[in-house]
Amino acid sequence: MKKYLSSALIASLFLGCSSTNISWEKTKEASYKAATDPVTWVPAVGGGILYATYDDDITQYYMDHHIIDEEIDEDLRQINGTLMYATAIFEHNETTKQTAKRFAVDAIGSNVAKIVTGEVEYFVTKETPDKKHENAIGSHHATDTFANSALTRKNVEDMSIPTWGKYTLNTISYVSASGSAFARVQEGGHSFGDQMINASIGNFIGVFFYELLLSEENNVESLNVLVDNENLQVNLKLKF
């Protein structure tokens, strides 16, 4: 059921642009910024290079020689998501309405990443390194976490804290995302190249929704988000 709901949600988010007055130009601009963000294109290029060279050998080595405890994977994902929402709330010198809007945008970006991951797993066929599944492209451990980290980074950019504090928060966010993605490589669920592609997809989603809904040029006044296990309901209020 989630597959059909997710398809409908993605369609409504984009088809709704015309009726909600989020312009096509704004959508294109957000897409361009997301695509040219270094954490989008560098992993994408790196993943392509790995596919063409030593991806299988490197992946097999770490499947045989684990360097992190896989049991901390869920903890890393919890840290990653919690940090995203925490940076949405604190130290932005914003009104309550602006803070709620930032929190809602993070919820949208994070949950759309989960939806896209499910869609990619369903439609894209690539055998996993352990030969057990055919959904190597699409990883909640990489796509979701790197979308969260992109949103965290954008939140941190807007925070009025010292530079060392920004570096610290971003480091924690990206280490947790990378650790979660790497844990799945050790388990044989994805190769290094797979996870670099999945991280690229996640970063694109995070940056896209920030630029579309939070940058100063858009006309979204407020956002309300209701999330449960089966639905993501988004209500937008616009300025005219």
Mean pLDDT for each 10-residue chunk of the chain (240 residues)? 44 41 82 97 97 97 92 94 96 87 94 95 94 93 97 96 97 98 96 97 97 71 53 52
User: How many structural domains are present in the chain?
Assistant: 1
- Name the burial class of residue 181, with classes exposed (0-12), middle (13-18) and buried (19+) by CB atoms within 10 angstroms of its CB: buried
Question: By C-alpha distance, which of 74, 50, 45 is closest to 191?
Answer: 50
User: 198 in a domain, yes or no?
Assistant: yes
User: 12 in a domain, yes or no?
Assistant: no
User: 9 in a domain, yes or no?
Assistant: no
User: 28 in a domain, yes or no?
Assistant: yes
pLDDT at 20: 40
User: 11 in a domain, yes or no?
Assistant: no
Residue 106 CA, chain-centre distance (Å), reads 10
Model pTM?
Answer: 0.83
User: 114 in a domain, yes or no?
Assistant: yes
pLDDT at 230: 52
Range of the domain at 64: 23-238
pLDDT at 71: 85
56, HSE (Cβ side, Cα atoms, 13 Å): 6
pLDDT at 93: 84
- Name the burial class of residue 100, with classes exposed (0-12), middle (13-18) and buried (19+) by CB atoms within 10 angstroms of its CB: middle
Q: Do 135 and 121 form a contact (C-beta atoms < 8 A)?
A: yes
User: 55 in a domain, yes or no?
Assistant: yes
User: 17 in a domain, yes or no?
Assistant: no
